[in-house]
Amino acid sequence: MARDLLYTPKSIESIDYERDLGDPGTFPYTRGIHATGYRGKLWTMRQFAGFGTPEETNERYRRLLAAGGTGLSVAFDLPTLMGRDPDHELSRGEVGKCGVNVTSLADMSALFDEIDLGAVTTSMTINAPAPMLLAMYLVVAEERGTDWRSLSGTIQNDILKEFIAQKEFIYPPRPSMRLVTDVFAFCAEHVPRWNTISVSGYHIREAGATAAQELAFTLRNGIEYVDHAIEAGLDVDTFAPRISFFFNSHSDFFEEIANFRAARRIWARVMRDRFNATNPRSWQLRFHAQTAGVSLTAQQPYNNVVRTAVQALAAALGGTQSLHTNALDEALALPTEAAATLALRTQQIIAHETGIVDVVDPLGGSYFLEKLTKDLEDEAMAYIDRIDRMGGMISAIERGYPQKEIAESAYQFQQAVESKAQVIVGVNEFVSSDREGIGTLYIDETAGDRQLARLEATRRNRDRARVSAALEHLQAAAKVDSNLMLPLIEAVRAHATVGEMCDGLREVWGEYVEDPII
Amino acid sequence: MSQKIRVVIAKPGLDGHDRGAKVIARALRDAGMEVIYTGLRQTPEQIVSAALQEDADVIGLSILSGAHMHICPRIVELLRERQMTDVLVVVGGIIPDADVPKLNEIGIRGIFQPGTPMQEIVDFITQQARVRVSSERLS
C-alpha cells in the first residue's frame, strides 16, 4: 500500500471519533474490546506445539506450562488433519512429522495426561475433522469427571480458508459447512464456554495475500459462517459471541496494527447492521495472532528472533487476546525446546519490561495509523462487496477468485524479492558467505512405528460390534438433517478412529478435488 | 533446436501448502519452460506416471511436511524401474541440512531450501536439463 511522506490532521478529517473509533470497550471497538486493555487481563501466551507421539507432545506441554505459558495449542500431524489413520497409504512418512498424531481416544487421553482440562484453555488447530477431535476432547473430559460446561478453548473449524489457502479439506464445501454449523449448535447448548470457530486469516496471509486481502477474505468468511448458521435456524446472538478470529502479524509494523483495528471496526458494524445482532458480545471481534512464519529465513536464523519480536509487538499494540511467537529455527524444522522457550520469553519481555501494556491502544489518534486503518477498511470493504456480488464466498471459491488473487500477490512479492525492491536481510542483501549452522529438532520414523502399534492394539481390544453400530448411526445421521456431534461422541466412546469416522462421512458426501490454478 | 524444457511440478504427500509450488511453476513458465502442475496430494506413482505421460525432462517436488526422506527415495526407485533415470529430479521446501547429503547420494542434485532465489533454480534446471538433452543426441 502506497504511503505519504507525512500525515497531518488533514489526513483524518473524514474520521469521526465517536462514530469510527470510540473509547476502548465501546462500539465499534476500533480501539479494543476491553475498556481496561491489558491492565485488566494480559493476552494469553499460547505457543502452538505438537510433534511425534502424544506422550512426547504431552511432555513439551507440561514444560511450556511450567515455563509460564498460559494456554495450550495443539499442532496435529498431516494424517490427523486430513482424517487418515497412520496405516493409510497416504500417511506413510507423515505420522508425527509436522505435529502430533492423534488417531483415537487413547491418543487424546495421553496427550493431556496430568493436565487439568477444567483449568487450562486448549486451542486445537483442526479443520476438516474438527468435530471428531472436539468429540475426543469431550470424551476425555467426561472420563475424568470434568464438566463440559467448565471446558474452555477453541477449535479452528474454519474450512473456508482451507479451500482458499491451506488446502487441508476433505469434503465438498456444502457438507463441510454443515459440520461447522453442527458444532455451533451443539456447543451453544452443551459446551457454552467453547470457541466454536477461529476464522483464520493467518493461512491466507502465509499463502501470499496482502494485509488487505487477509482482512477482507477472513471477514467475508466470517460473514459466510454467520449466514449459514442463521440459515440452519440458529439465532445470531446464541452463537456469534463464540466466534473468534486468528490473524497474521507480519513485518510491516504499522500496517499490522492498523489491520487489527480495522478488523474490529468492520466486524462490529457487520454484526450490528448486517445481521442485527443485539448482544454487544456478538459485535466484539476477539482474536489470536501469530507472527509470520513465512517471514522466517533459513539464512542467518538468529535474525528471526528480531523479526518475531517486532511482529509480536505489533500484535500487542493491535490489541490481540492471545499470541503465538514463532521460534528462530522454524524455516528449517519444528522448533527445538530451547528455541520454543526463547519465543515465549520474547512475549514475556514485551509484556513485562516495555511498559506498552499500561495504556490502552497507545497509538490511537496517530494521524498515520488512523488513516492507514481507514484505508485498509476501505480496501477490504471493496473486496467484501465484490464477493457479495458473486453470491458469497462459496461461489467465489468455486470460481477460484480468492485463490487467484492470493497466487497473484505471492508471485508479485517473489518478484519484488528477486529485484531487491523488497529487501530481506540475509537473503537478498547483507548476505553472509558461510552458513550459520544451528542444531534442529529431528523427528525420525519411530513415532510412526509407535503410533501404528497403538492403532493395532486399539483395534484389537475394542468392542467391534459397538464400533460398527456407532459408525452406521453416524452415516445414517449424515444422510438426514440431524446434528452429527452426538453420533461422533458415541463413535469416540466406542474407540472409533479419526480415519474411520472421516471415511464414514466420505462414503456419504464424497471428497473435494481442487482444480489446480497457477 | 531450442526445444522447451518440460517440467512436472508436483506436491506429494498430504500437505496442502502450495505457495512455493505455484510460484516456482510460474517462474519456470516465465523462463520459457513448459510447466505441468499436478495439483495436490500425488503419490510417487502418480508423479512418475505424469512425468512419463508428459515426456518430462524434470520433476520438481515441493515438500514442506518432513516426509521428503520417504518420498524422494521412492520416486528415484520408480524412475529406475521405468528406465527414466535421465529425468532430472529437484526438490524444494523445508529440508534440514542433515538430509541434503543423503538426498544427493540417491541422485537428487537440486535441493532448494527456503530463501533460494528463483533465478538460481531456473539456472540450475536450464543447465542440468540441457546436459541431458545434448548427451542423448551424442549417443
Say whether B65 and A414 touch across the interface (CB within 8 A).
Answer: no
> Distance of CA A462 to CAs A10, A111, A355, Å?
71, 20, 56
| pTM, full prediction | 0.94
Report in angstroms the alpha-carbon separations of B91 from A27, A112, A406, B17, B63: 51, 37, 23, 15, 7
SS (H, E, C) A226-292: HHHHHHCCCCHHHHHHHEEEEEEECCCHHHHHHHHHHHHHHHHHHHHHHCCCCCHHHHCCCEEEEEC
The complex's ipTM? 0.90
A166: nearest CB among B17, B29, B66: B17
The count of C-alpha atoms lying within 13 angstroms of the C-alpha of B27, restricted to the half-sphere facing its C-beta, is: 26
Residue B44 maps to a domain: yes
Residues of chain A with C-beta less than 8 angstroms from the C-beta of B41 = 90
Residues 6+ apart with CB under 8 A from A335: A326, A327, A328, A329, A343, A441
CB contact under 8 A, A206 and B113: no
User: B14, A84: Cβ pair inside 8 Å?
Assistant: yes
pLDDT value at B133 more than 60: no
pLDDT tens digit sequence for A145-158: 999 999 999 999 99
What was the pLDDT predicted at B132? 53
Q: What is the 3-state secondary structure (H, E, C) of A353-418?
A: HCCHHHCCCCCCCCHHHHHHHHHHHHHHHHHHHHHHHCCCHHHHHHCCHHHHHHHHHHHHHHHHHH
State residue B104's pLDDT score: 96
Close Cβ partners of A195 (under 8 Å, ≥ 6 residues apart): A153, A154, A155, A242, A243, A244
Confirm or reject contact between B43 and chain A (CB < 8 A): yes
- Give CA–CA dist A33/B45, Å, rounded: 53
Backbone angles phi, psi at A459, to 5 degrees: -65, -35
Q: For an interface test with A, which of B7, B18, B97 has the most A Cβ atoms less than 10 Å from its Cβ?
A: B18
With respect to residue B88, please indicate whether it lies within any of the assigned structural domains: yes
CA angle B48/B52/B58 to nearest 5° reads 75
pLDDT for A132? 98
Least CB-CB distance to A78: which of B35, B38, B65?
A: B65
Segment B15-66, tens digit of pLDDT: 999 999 999 999 999 999 999 999 999 999 999 999 999 999 999 999 998 8
Residue A485 three-state SS:
helix
Hey, is the C-beta of B109 within 8 angstroms of any chain A C-beta? no
Per-residue cell: A376: 485498509
Right CATH for A24-419 from 3.40.630.30, 1.10.10.10, 3.20.20.240, 3.30.2450.30: 3.20.20.240
State how far residue A331 is from chain B, nearest Cα, in angstroms. 7
Dist. CA A190–CA A435, nearest whole Å: 54
Question: Scanning every residue of chain B, which has its alpha carbon at the shortest distance from the alpha carbon of A411?
Answer: B23
pLDDT along chain A (518 residues), means of 10: 93 97 98 97 92 95 87 94 95 92 98 94 96 98 97 97 97 96 96 96 98 98 97 95 97 98 98 98 98 94 97 98 95 90 96 98 98 98 98 96 97 96 96 81 87 97 98 98 97 98 98 87
Contacts of B36 by beta carbon, 8 Å cutoff, 6+ apart: B6, B7, B8, B9, B50, B54, B56
CB atoms A299 and B115 under 8 Å:
yes
Contact A518 B26 (CB under 8 A): yes
**pLDDT recorded at residue B138:** 46
At A440, the amino acid letter reads T
Distance CA A265, CA A271 (A): 10
Question: CA A336, CA A339: separation in Å to the nearest integer?
Answer: 5
Q: Can you give the residue range of the structural domain that contains B46?
A: 6-138
Is B96 an 8 Å CB contact of chain A?
A: yes
User: Domain segments of chain A: what residues?
Assistant: 24-419, 464-509
A491 Cβ partners below 8 Å, 6+ apart?
Answer: A135, A467, A470, A471, A473, A474, A500, A501, A504
Q: Is A20 exposed, middle or buried (0-12, 13-18, 19+ CB in 10 A)?
A: middle
The per-residue pLDDT for A64 is: 85
Q: Which residue of A has its CA nearest to B69?
A: A93
Contact B19 A208 (CB under 8 A): yes
Q: How far does Cα A16 stand from its chain's mean position?
A: 33
Q: What is the CATH number of the domain that holds B15?
A: 3.40.50.280
- Helices A211-231 and A367-389: angle between axes, nearest 10 degrees: 50
CB contact under 8 A, A298 and B113: yes
Distance from C-alpha of A344 to C-alpha of A246, rounded to nearest angstrom: 18
How many beta carbons lie within 10 A of that of residue B53, not counting itself? Answer: 10
Helical pair A485-493 and A464-479, crossing angle rounded to 10 deg: 170
Q: pLDDT tens for residues A112-151?
A: 999 999 999 999 999 999 999 999 999 999 999 999 999 9
User: Which residues of chain B are within 8 Å of residue A206 when distances are taken between CB atoms?
Assistant: 17, 19
The shortest CB-CB distance from B114 to any of A89, A331, A334 is to A331
Instruction: Give the pairing of strands A287-291 and A243-249.
Output: parallel
Domains: count for chain B: 1
Residue B1 lies in a domain: no
Strand, coil or helix: what is B105?
A: helix
Is residue B111 within 8 Å of B61, Cβ to Cβ?
A: no
Q: What is the CA radius of gyration of chain B?
A: 14
Tell me which residue of A64, A36, A37 sits closest to A50, measured CA to CA: A64
Instruction: Count Cβ–Cβ pairs < 8 Å, chain A vs chain B.
Output: 114
Contact A151, A186 (CB under 8 A): no
Residue type, A187: C
Sequential DSSP letters for A44-92 = EEEEEE--BSHHHHHHHHHHHHHTT--EEEEEBPHHHHTT--TTSGGGT
**What sign results for the dihedral spanned by CA atoms B45, B50, B52, B58?**
negative
Burial A403-431 (b: 16+ CB within 10 A, else e): bebbbebbbebbbebeeeeeebebbbeee
Rounded to whole angstroms, the Cα distance separating A156 from A246 reads: 9
Q: What pLDDT does B137 receive?
A: 44
User: Inter-chain contact B96–A418, Cβ cutoff 8 Å?
Assistant: no
Q: Give the residue from A98, A431, A502 with the most B CB atoms within 10 Å of its CB, the best one to mutate.
A: A98
